Structure 1
Amino acid sequence: MDRAAFAAALTEKLRRRGVRVDLSAAATLTRALAAGNAEVPGTPAHPSVPASPTTPGTPRTSGHLYWITRICLVRRSEDLPAFDAVFAEVFGEAVPADGPRNPPSSVRTRSRPDGVSEGTGGGTTGEPGAGDAGHGRPVRGRGRAPLPWATPAPHGPPSPARVALSATEQETLAQEPFETLSDAQTAQLGTWLAGAVPHLPRRRARRRRPGRGGARVDLRATLARARRTGWEPWELARQKRVRRPRRVVVLCDVSESVRTQSAAHMHLMRALVRSPARAEAFAFATRPTRLTPVLAHGDADAALERASEAVTDRFGGTRIAGSVRELLASRHGAALRGAVVLVLSDGWDAGPPEDTAAAMARLRRRAHRVVWANPRAAARGFEPRTGGMAAALPHCDVFLPAHTFAALREVVAAVADLRRPPGAPRP
């Protein structure tokens, strides 16, 4: 059953009958249907609706469905008769595959020449509500499409529904390492991380605009004001610099050594790409791959799937120095100039440490700031002893762990420069 299509179709049908349904009622009903997997004890059944067999993922009885839809969609007592009529009409004309097997007693049925029963409780047979009430499956009525919420079953086993996490559960799971999280929890925490991205750093542009407290006097505006005071510049107009979002560039390691952390790091990259800063995202193992267009997709699952297909060297070896040099020499190398560069990697490099140090030194000279997030930095007794990490660390402004979603939130704060008190010198 497509819950969203069912909620949208039912609310539209109620509005056509004069019931005042809120704008957010369809979304509320969708969430209620997703959460109504278990029967609520003590829920009364509607007198005209019989019970139905239990089906996973749907209300256990038609009476349960009646009260869920009524609570979510009806706000006025005078709309109850119209709601009852629409509910009886819908489930009398065509019953969803997971719904009651017999029509309500208040709805009469008659047989058509083709052997299909149709309801006579106030509905028309030509609209996309006609169906087989006796067999519980939608049919086509006069060439129209079937009910929008009665979708065919997908091929293969159904995917488990995602249960929405509460704020407390999100904060608790955000402290857990990536290895202990399921795919569904990782996806939901990725959405939580995208909502926690603050305003990213800003830079002073060359343009100026009128503003109080500016250090420069706006001569044209000052002379315009002096016309009202006999050409005496009594009030000075000032200008200040325009501040624009500073560019953010993310380099994410997707080699074999960070296989368990790559999915969460991809969610961080997508959150930064879709932020107001519109970050540039690159994944690298042996060579850099630009992922900005695919990660900007509105659907998180589709974006991550396309990103996985785009990276051809995923879960292979690691060449940090070669990837950084190739990025600096490419047409995207100009994006690094004056940007905040975030590197997500454990620092394991197959090349010589001298090459890594030279590449990172060149990257640091071009960038405004370099933040390195290591998923292994939170381990007890960790020291950057690997050749690549030890060579790159002197050229990094901030070094942080990146083993949990809470740690990734700290990484975002470091990228936004929120960890530095106002007025303090930069590291």
Structure 2
Amino acid sequence: MDNPVPVIFRGVDRAAFAVSFAGKLRNAGLAAGLTETGDLVGALEVCTLDSPEAVYWALRVATVRRQPDLAVFDRVFAAVFTDVPQLALNRGTEPPGNRRDDVHVPVKADTERAADGGGLPWATLPTPVAAAVGPAEGPSVPLLRPSALAALAERPFEDLDAAQIEQLGAALRDELTRWPTRRTRRHETNSAGRRLALRATVALSRRTAWEPVEIVRQRPIRRPRRVVLLCDVSASMQAQAAAYLHLMRAFTTVADAEAFAFATGLTRLTPALRQTSPRQAITQATAAVTDRFGGTRIAANLSTLLDSHHGNTLRGALVIVASDGWDTDPPERLAATMARLRRRAYRILWLNPRAGAPGFTPRVAAMAAALPFCDAMLPAATFADLAAAVRHLRK
């Protein structure tokens, strides 16, 4: 009795392999989209994959659409199937100008050896624990379970390293997926609106002898509530500065907020924090603040913001001030500035890293002067406190 024909994909989830192989092709520069991935799944289902050559041609016919993509496909195929015998095809053995892609040289495969997945990501039973593959520019951050992430969120900022702060910053950004809106003075056409759009109704009535057969309705346009954040980066806030930058980036990218950092001067960080890469955004924002870890002038910086052309962004906005309240300016000046801010802003929220300590009272003169003009003062010593503050703002 003849021996059975060896199967290349024994013990492998072919659909998962097709998706993973198409992803590798896209990373290498070949345009393998949903259509190519679907063709690849169908090819692996109907083809008899009893030899490396059959595998090669099934993958190539399903994914390659252009002549220039052959070199990319060959490189990816060779990288994926390094644990099977090499194919003695004519690719790479002839100069590009004399290449004939419709001819291949069949060779014997090592039929005694059946591939079992080798711990590759598309194997049906992958290795339970595998080394995390990170980007080339720096160390990777392993994914944590929700319980471990919640435990990190309860730790003080000074006990966290840069990688943990970046992870918690991404989790904090997920808290802002739903942000409250406000009613504007502009209107839009909507069949469920309660207001009659007179001009549009009259325009339609011209087609029906000036009889308003069709009534056009409209309703107010709603926009996300504007947010302005001011973060204290003085010496007393050194432990909290990195975490608060991640908070500002979350608001900047999700709620289109304006972000400012202040110590002895005021620095606008909105363009830097809108970068796609979190690491690059934090790096640019840190480099932009030249007076960090110095003194603090809260009243002077708030006055500068109110008097600048960015002061109009405070009108009807939710203002968040993250500071411990230590200020070198007189408390009377801070009280007068906060009164101006109170008349212009929608709400003022003060985040104080020391507010969560047992028996805390605002004994600092500047904090006591600013507190009557704030709608709320919340603790902000951990990422759990910041997430609670975000949930408080969404109400």
Q: Would you say same fold, with TM above 0.5?
A: yes
| Residue aligning to 2:126 | none
The partner residue of 1:299 within 277, 291, 300 is: 277
The partner residue of 1:385 within 363, 386, 393 is: 363
SS state at 1:205 partner: strand
| Residue aligning to 2:329 | 351
The partner residue of 1:124 within 78, 92, 108 is: 92
| Residue aligning to 2:317 | 339
Q: Indicate the percent of aligned positions where both proteins have the same amino acid.
A: 48
**What is the alpha-carbon distance in structure 1 between the residues aligned to residue 143 and residue 84 of structure 2?**
37
The partner residue of 2:354 within 366, 369, 376 is: 376
Q: CA deviation at 1:295?
A: 0.7
Q: CA deviation at 1:224?
A: 6.4
**What is the alpha-carbon distance in structure 2 between the residues aligned to residue 261 and residue 25 of structure 1?**
43
Q: CA deviation at 1:355?
A: 1.2
Q: CA deviation at 1:105?
A: 8.4
The partner residue of 1:168 within 144, 147, 151 is: 147
Question: Residue 380 and residue 126 in structure 1: after superposition, are their counterparts in 2 closer, same or farther (change >3 A)?
Answer: farther
The 5-angstrom pairing of residues 147-296 of structure 1 reads 159-212=138-191, 214-223=193-202, 237-275=216-254, 277-296=255-274
Q: CA deviation at 1:258?
A: 1.2
**What is the alpha-carbon distance in structure 2 between the residues aligned to residue 354 and residue 281 of structure 1?**
25
Q: Are positions 1:399 and 2:377 aligned together?
A: yes
The 5-angstrom pairing of residues 72-83 of structure 1 reads 76=44, 78=47, 81-82=51-52
Q: Are positions 1:21 and 2:18 aligned together?
A: yes
Report if the CA contact (8 A) 1:226-1:233 is conserved. Answer: yes
**What is the alpha-carbon distance in structure 1 between the residues aligned to residue 17 and residue 172 of structure 2?**
36
**What is the alpha-carbon distance in structure 2 between the residues aligned to residue 256 and residue 24 of structure 1?**
51
**What is the alpha-carbon distance in structure 2 between the residues aligned to residue 209 and residue 23 of structure 1?**
45
**What is the alpha-carbon distance in structure 1 between the residues aligned to residue 299 and residue 186 of structure 2?**
37
Give the RMSD, CA atoms, in angstroms.
Answer: 3.8
Question: Residue 325 and residue 83 in structure 1: after superposition, are their counterparts in 2 closer, same or farther (change >3 A)?
Answer: farther
Which fold has the larger relative contact order, with Cα–Cα distance below 8 Å and residues 6 or more apart in sequence? 2
SS state at 2:316 partner: coil
1:291-341 deviation line (CA, Å, top 9, x unaligned) = 111111111111111111110001111110011011111221121122111
SS state at 1:259 partner: helix
Of 164-173 and 341-350, the range deviating more from structure 2: 164-173
SS state at 1:328 partner: helix
SS state at 2:143 partner: coil
Q: Are positions 1:366 and 2:344 aligned together?
A: yes
Unmatched segments (≥5 aa) in structure 1: 1-18, 31-72, 96-102, 108-118, 129-153, 420-427
TM-score normalised by L of structure 2: 0.67
| Residue aligning to 2:11 | none
The 5-angstrom pairing of residues 22-171 of structure 1 reads 22=19, 26=23, 76=44, 78=47, 81-82=51-52, 106-107=85-86, 120=88, 123-125=91-93, 159-171=138-150
Question: Residue 213 and residue 91 in structure 1: after superposition, are their counterparts in 2 closer, same or farther (change >3 A)?
Answer: closer
Number of aligned residues: 310
**What is the alpha-carbon distance in structure 2 between the residues aligned to residue 386 and residue 414 of structure 1?**
25
**Structure holding more helix per residue:** 2
| Residue aligning to 1:35 | none
Report if the CA contact (8 A) 1:197-1:409 is conserved. Answer: no
Equivalent AA in structure 2 for residue 289 of structure 1: T
1:108-135 deviation line (CA, Å, top 9, x unaligned) = xxxxxxxxxxx9566415799xxxxxxx
TM-score normalised by L of structure 1: 0.63
The 5-angstrom pairing of residues 405-424 of structure 1 reads 405-415=383-393, 418-419=394-395
Q: CA deviation at 1:172?
A: 2.8
Report if the CA contact (8 A) 1:92-1:121 is conserved. Answer: no
SS state at 1:244 partner: strand
Equivalent AA in structure 2 for residue 317 of structure 1: G
1:90-113 deviation line (CA, Å, top 9, x unaligned) = 699889xxxxxxx86844xxxxxx
Report if the CA contact (8 A) 2:175-2:391 is conserved. Answer: no
**What is the alpha-carbon distance in structure 2 between the residues aligned to residue 271 and residue 25 of structure 1?**
32
**What is the alpha-carbon distance in structure 1 between the residues aligned to residue 77 and residue 21 of structure 2?**
26
SS state at 2:239 partner: coil
Q: CA deviation at 1:179?
A: 2.1
**What is the alpha-carbon distance in structure 2 between the residues aligned to residue 383 and residue 127 of structure 1?**
80
